[in-house]
Amino acid sequence: MNGELLKNELQHELLAILDYWLQHAVDEQQGGFYGRIDNNNTKYPDAPKGSVLNARILWTFSAAYSLTKDPRYATAADRAFAYIREHFIDSLYGGVYWSVTSNGESYDTKKQVYALAFVLYGCSEYYRALKNEPAKALAIQLYEVIQQKSYDHKQGGYFEAFDRHWEGVADLRLSHKDANEKKTMNTHLHILEAYTALYRIYPDEVLAKHIAALLHTFHDHLINQQTGHLHLFFDEHWTVKSDTVSYGHDIEASWLLPEAAETIGDENLVTLMRAEALKMADAVIIGLDTDGGLWYEYETSQNRLIKEKHWWPQAEALVGFYSAWQISDQHEYLQYAYNVWAFIKQYIRDDKHGEWFWGVNEDHSVMQGQDKVGLWKGPYHNGRACMELIKRINIDLSGARQQAENSNR
């Protein structure tokens, strides 16, 4: 496979993903988008609607409009922003509800900083695509709320969750599988992602300092400098509270960290984060199976590999390994990206019902009981991977053509 062929296939895949969401996910009866659709495309009209899902829809269709200028994507982004603004924003206490009922009433009012970051991320991309001023204002407002309510002025970093009134809560977890700790890698990664997106539309010096501080936090606390893997859970003093390895987060961070440093134009951090990126990409190689797919997690203390291949680590591996190849010019990374794409096409893409399966088991059977659309399953990881690779390949092909022209002069 070459870059041109990969780009063409990803363009086709992106259109298929977006068409799925336009065809199946729009809730014409109750507004916004359905909260749950299963693998057979059965809709659950009474399912709660999550802020993270809606923010990811907003980001994806905004970015897709920027890339393609297809007016259908602008309409979908408009719909997502209007629904978020009307139903998920806590106008009384600030921040974002975790979820609302199917008809838009507040349901889970806990303030997960992860969710605030995703709405900030979506609003920033929406403004970038369509210059919607209320979206920019909301993005800045959410950034200020995160800094005011979540930032740890003593130890650095960000606390995980609060109740609706911004008081402490006993259960800080994003999901039942997480450790109940005050700080997590996952939330820090997505605050970084969101702040980077905000900086593109709001190049504020203080924001740049917060992004730089987050990158130093990754270097100092979140990346295991011996193994190259990310630590996942911490107490408020940065004591590590888990030894689980998340291959998907490792490879996702490997391209988001250099992107953040490049966005704020800090050359020292660019150099540092590119080195960290290759360290993380190398650490992830052990998580690749012979079929090209990326395993989910490894529990170090139990020497136990979780023999599942979820959709989102495959999407992030596409970008992460391609990015590692761009940084290093080592062809092995590019081949890993090609192998992951071949795995996705064969096992993760649902050629019958559309979109991507949640994941497959060791024997490549589809994981049962998982959603096609849900609180966690949106168009963001796979849609973003397609768009990110299309843009990167376009730049690479353009550079190659220019180099060829110069050599022929």
> What span, in angstroms and rounded, lies between the C-alpha atoms of 386 and 389?
5
- Average pLDDT of the chain to the nearest whole number: 97
Q: What share of the chain is helix, strand, coil (3-state, %, to 5)?
A: 55, 10, 30
pLDDT band at 402 (very low <50, low <70, confident <90, very high): low
Measured in whole angstroms, the distance separating CA 97 from the mean position of its chain's CA atoms is 19
CATH of 3-402, one of 3.20.20.140, 3.40.50.300, 1.50.10.10, 3.30.470.20: 1.50.10.10
Q: With beta carbons less than 8 A apart as the criterion, state whether 85 and 138 touch.
A: yes
| Reported pTM | 0.97
Mean pLDDT of 78-87: 98
Tokens of 42: 């059965």
Domain parsing of the chain, residue ranges: 3-402
> Terminal CA-to-CA distance of the chain, rounded, Å?
29
Cα-to-chain-centroid distance, residue 147 = 21
Residues 228, 182, 171, 243: is their CA dihedral positive or negative? positive
Is residue 56 a contact partner of residue 116, using CB atoms and an 8 Å limit? no
Q: Copy the structure tokens of residue 303.
A: 């020497």
pLDDT of residue 1: 79
- 95-126: per-residue pLDDT in tens? 999 999 999 999 999 999 999 999 999 999 99
Give the Cα separation of 50 and 57 in Å (integer).
11
pLDDT in tens, 191-237: 999 999 999 999 999 999 999 999 999 999 999 999 999 999 999 99
Which whole number is the average pLDDT over 155-171? 97
pLDDT at 176 over 90: no
Assess contact for 18 and 379: CB atoms under 8 A: yes
Comparing 81-90, 111-120, 174-183, which segment has the lowest mean pLDDT? 174-183
SS3 of residue 360 by DSSP: strand
Biggest alpha carbon distance in the chain?
68
Residue showing tokens 């096409």: 345
